[in-house]
Amino acid sequence: MNSYADAPSGILIADGSRFLQAEVKNSMAEQFSEAIGFTIYSNSKYNVKSFKSFFELLWNEHALNEELRRTDKMQKEFINIAAHELRTPVQPILGLSDVLISKKGDIEQYRELLDAIIRNAKRLQKLTEDILDVTKIESQSLHLRKQRINLNEVILGIIAEYSSQIEKKVNTVNLSFISKDDDIFVEADRLRLSQVFHNILSNAIKFTKEGNITIVIQRNKESGRGNHNNINDDQVIVSIKDTGTGIDPEILPRLFTKFATKSVTGTGLGLFISKSIVEAHSGKMWAQNNADGKGATFYFSLPLSK
């Protein structure tokens, strides 16, 4: 029902074959016959089709406007959160740099200040790269440079990179890797796939104060899961299991969306980007808290190279 202040009226289309146009005489009337005045009824296919097309155009325009409003809201939220996150590392970089400029003497005695500047500069670099990746994903311009790679070699290389982080935890965390095959090949972008591993493994290390982080890689047939999440037998499943704090129940339903985090040191972009990268490789990504209540396990699948 569409009404107008100067000439209230309504049009009803029934079954796509008949329409009724009526003047609204008294919208507050209890009886329908008292509410309407001059009325036109038609079952002309041409007239009905014309009115139907008109309403479809109006509805499509309404749906488009709603989508534009939703997109605009998301963009504003994204810009506000990104701006806030960018300011966080920028302030100590500028402040500590000013302190160093005012100092005299051997630079070594200011190593602590320099480390803080470098740490925040790297955080700023990571945030900038994440924002650029999100922009590419949402504009569908994320391009992959696929090649045949050995998944085991990629994982072992990343584990070696994180060995220093594990050592800082005074051997309270044990990182292990299990694979039944020496060679598991996939067609993938090595850098993007490494990015996925980095995001998941760094989270596992951050939220695991003690215990184990176990990375398992196996073909779907060997996993005992069957076609879990509609995964085919010609796919490999990678799991990263930790004994950390687990996934907050409030975050879990929207875990792979942008800014889904309660951490004061994270933006919540990493898992969104990781899932998008895996799906761009025709894979899937999911996660769950462990049944024993200790930590969580992240999974992702990738098609095996033929």
**270-289: average pLDDT:** 94
Q: Which amino acid is at 70?
A: R
Sheet-wide strand order for 173-179 = 173-179, 211-219, 235-242, 296-303, 285-289
User: What confidence tens digit (pLDDT) does each residue in 242-254 have?
Assistant: 999 999 888 888 8
**37-66: average pLDDT:** 76
What is the topology classification, in CATH, of domain 62-138?
Helix Hairpins (1.10.287)
Q: How much is the pLDDT for 225?
A: 47
DSSP character string of 11-72: EEEETTTEEEEEEES-TT-SSHHHHEEEEEEE--HHHHHHHHHHHHHHHHHHHHHHHHHHHH
- Count of other CB atoms within 10 angstroms of residue 83: 9
User: What confidence tens digit (pLDDT) does each residue in 122-149 have?
Assistant: 888 888 888 888 888 888 888 899 999 9
- Beta strand pairing call for 9-14 and 18-24: antiparallel
DSSP tally for the chain: helices H, then strands E = 7, 10
Give 46 or 222, the one with higher predicted confidence: 46
Q: How much is the pLDDT for 230?
A: 60
For the cut 50, the answer to whether the pLDDT of residue 4 exceeds it is no
Query: In 3-state terms, what secondary structure has residue 284?
Result: coil
Q: How much is the pLDDT for 185?
A: 93
Q: Where does the pLDDT of residue 221 fall: very low under 50, low under 70, confident under 90, or very high at 90 and above?
A: low
For the cut 60, the answer to whether the pLDDT of residue 226 exceeds it is no
For the cut 50, the answer to whether the pLDDT of residue 109 exceeds it is yes
CA 273, CA 129: separation in Å to the nearest integer? 11
Going from N- to C-terminal start, the domains of the chain cover: 62-138, 148-303
For the cut 50, the answer to whether the pLDDT of residue 264 exceeds it is yes
User: What confidence tens digit (pLDDT) does each residue in 195-218 have?
Assistant: 999 999 988 988 888 889 999 999
What architecture is the 148-303 domain classified under in CATH? Answer: 2-Layer Sandwich (3.30)
Closest to 202 measured CA to CA, from 250, 153, 263: 263
With helix as H, strand as E and coil as C, how does 214-265 read?
EEEEEEHHHCCCCCHHHCCCCEEEEEEEECCCCCCCCCHHHCCCCCCCCCCC
Q: How much is the pLDDT for 189?
A: 94
CA 53, CA 75: separation in Å to the nearest integer? 33
For the cut 50, the answer to whether the pLDDT of residue 289 exceeds it is yes
Q: Please report, for residues 37, 73, 192, the alpha-carbon distance to residue 131 in angstroms, rounded to integers and kept in the order given.
A: 59, 17, 15
Q: How much is the pLDDT for 12?
A: 60
**62-79: average pLDDT:** 74
pTM of the model: 0.65
Give 47 or 60, the one with higher predicted confidence: 60
Greatest mean pLDDT among 47-56, 103-112, 171-180: 171-180
For the record, the structure tokens of 175 come out as 């990182």
CA 200, CA 159: separation in Å to the nearest integer? 12
Q: How much is the pLDDT for 80?
A: 65
- 262-269: long-range contacts, CB 8 A cutoff, minimum separation 24: 263/206, 265/206, 267/81, 267/85, 267/127, 267/130, 269/127, 269/130, 269/131, 269/133, 269/134
Indicate the angle between helix axes 190-207 and 270-280, nearest 10 degrees.
Answer: 140
Q: How much is the pLDDT for 1?
A: 44
CA 194, CA 203: separation in Å to the nearest integer? 14
**48-70: average pLDDT:** 77
Q: How much is the pLDDT for 2?
A: 46
**160-184: average pLDDT:** 78
Q: How much is the pLDDT for 5?
A: 45
Give 76 or 121, the one with higher predicted confidence: 121
Q: How much is the pLDDT for 306?
A: 75
User: What confidence tens digit (pLDDT) does each residue in 73-108 have?
Assistant: 766 666 666 666 677 777 777 787 777 777 777 777
User: Could you give the angle at the alpha carbon of 195 between the alpha carbons of 74 and 303, nearest 5°?
Assistant: 100
For the chain, what is the mean pLDDT?
Answer: 80
For the cut 70, the answer to whether the pLDDT of residue 49 exceeds it is yes
Computed from CA positions of residues 247, 253, 257, 262, in that sequence, does the dihedral angle turn out positive or negative?
negative
Q: Are 158 and 197 in contact (CB under 8 A)?
A: yes
Please identify which residue in the block is written with the tokens 């060997």: 222
